[in-house]
Amino acid sequence: MATSIVLFSWMVLGLVMATSTSQVEAARAFFVFGDSLVDNGNNNFLATTARADSPPYGIDTPSRRPSGRFSNGKNIPDFISWGSPSIFFSLFIFYVHSAENLCCVYVSGEALGSVPTLPYLSPELKGDRLLVGANFASAGIGILNDTGVQFINIIRMYKQLKYFEQYQARLADLVGYDETQRIVNDALVLITVGGNDFVNNYYLVPFSPRSRQFSLPDYVRYLISEYRKLLMRLYDLGARKVLVTGTGPMGCVPAELAMRSPTGQCAPELQRAAGLYNPQLVDMINELNNQYGATIFIAANTRQQTTDFINDPAAYGFTTSKVACCGQGPYNGLGLCTVVSNLCPNRDEYAFWDAFHPSERANGIIVNMILSGSTNYMKPMNLSTLLALDTKTRT
């Protein structure tokens, strides 16, 4: 029996890895909205300071060249759309006791295909590449239009949704209106936004305009009400499977430790903000699902997952969760990551790549949670379960 399990696991792994780029028509499309945690290069095409298109960004990619991702390698959408043999193998082991769920791991493993989404502003996004989906994310943006004003030329959320409309018109020219609606309805949508509304707005400077306008609890309620409008607009535009990530433990990132915490403890005000925001986000998502009478939105508790490896980095194979791999100043948390910054020799040992963004390895751990996490992390279900249920419904 053990031998059969091992052999079958490698068969599953081989099938996952064998998904061909020539089969994009059969793959599930993937659309990404949000900020620098999920931007894969849109800001490269904009006159903005919120960019990651110079070394040492991308140092651990096959080309060792920066692509615009705020990472040493893959970011969260990459792990979801490209997949990872190690992730899918671990999922197989996790589900090995259930033949039904084992089937579903394979479905989720190949559901998004192996062709990465392109930035919407990329001139390469045309023809059959439109069938794969698109990434509309832009570093520096928030839920609110006044978030990230210091970066000047970025794609704010209303513009990202406008581009999504334009994308659908372009796709309809290629495959027709009905097929476009099917592709969009079947697609997975990832949206990651909200953190900048705190670190690059409410707490950007002392006595910021928003902090004078709102108390923190009122500001959180305002953000949630505005986010609700964005999610409802996504639904109106055809999104039916939407993965919504919360904010991380914002007070614990190297930038905030450097600016606000001489003792190395997480900054309490930003932690309080995350503690207020994330539960209300889940409540709002539950309300929307009830309103639409279906599980349209699933919430990923990335704050809890990141807190886990911040509190116990060794348990996840990290040597530190306080010091960024690339940067300068206390905790390498000040300024930008550039060729003159301190650079760690082994990025896999660091939970944070730069002052704000997880390392490639940390991103992989987060996606593992998104795919297979319990209800402590994923509500009302994890991504593998959502895609498996959807696959059964369609077959």
For 196, the enclosing helix (H) or strand (E) is helix 196-197
In the numeric block, the tokens 């239009």 are attached to 145
Of the residues 39, 71, 108, 357, only one is catalytic, namely 357
Q: Residue count of the chain, please give it.
A: 395
Enumerate the β-bridge partners of residue 30.
133, 188
Rg (CA), the chain: 20
**Other CB atoms closer than 10 Å to residue 78's CB: what's the count?**
25
Enumerate the β-bridge partners of residue 334.
328
Q: Is 36 a catalytic residue?
A: yes
Half-sphere exposure (CA, 13 Å, Cβ side) for 319?
Answer: 10
**Token pair of 158, please?**
């209303």
Enumerate the β-bridge partners of residue 300.
245, 378
The residue type at 384? S
Enumerate the β-bridge partners of residue 242.
189, 297
Distances from the Cα of 227 to the Cαs of 65, 157, 234, 302, in angstroms? 34, 10, 11, 17
Return d(Cα 60, Cα 81) in angstroms, integer: 18
Is the CB of residue 171 less than 8 Å from the CB of residue 224?
A: no
Which candidate, 25, 34, 21, places its Cα nearest to that of 183? 25
Return d(Cα 242, Cα 105) in angstroms, integer: 19
Is the CB of residue 336 less than 8 Å from the CB of residue 70?
A: no
Return d(Cα 200, Cα 50) in angstroms, integer: 12
To the nearest 10 degrees (0 to 180), the angle between helices 360-372 and 383-394 is 50
Return d(Cα 48, Cα 59) in angstroms, integer: 22
Which candidate, 66, 65, 59, 61, places its Cα nearest to that of 345? 59
Of the residues 78, 197, 354, 390, only one is catalytic, namely 354
Is the CB of residue 38 less than 8 Å from the CB of residue 52?
A: no
**Token pair of 234, please?**
């996504």
Q: Is 357 a catalytic residue?
A: yes
Residues with catalytic roles: 36, 354, 357
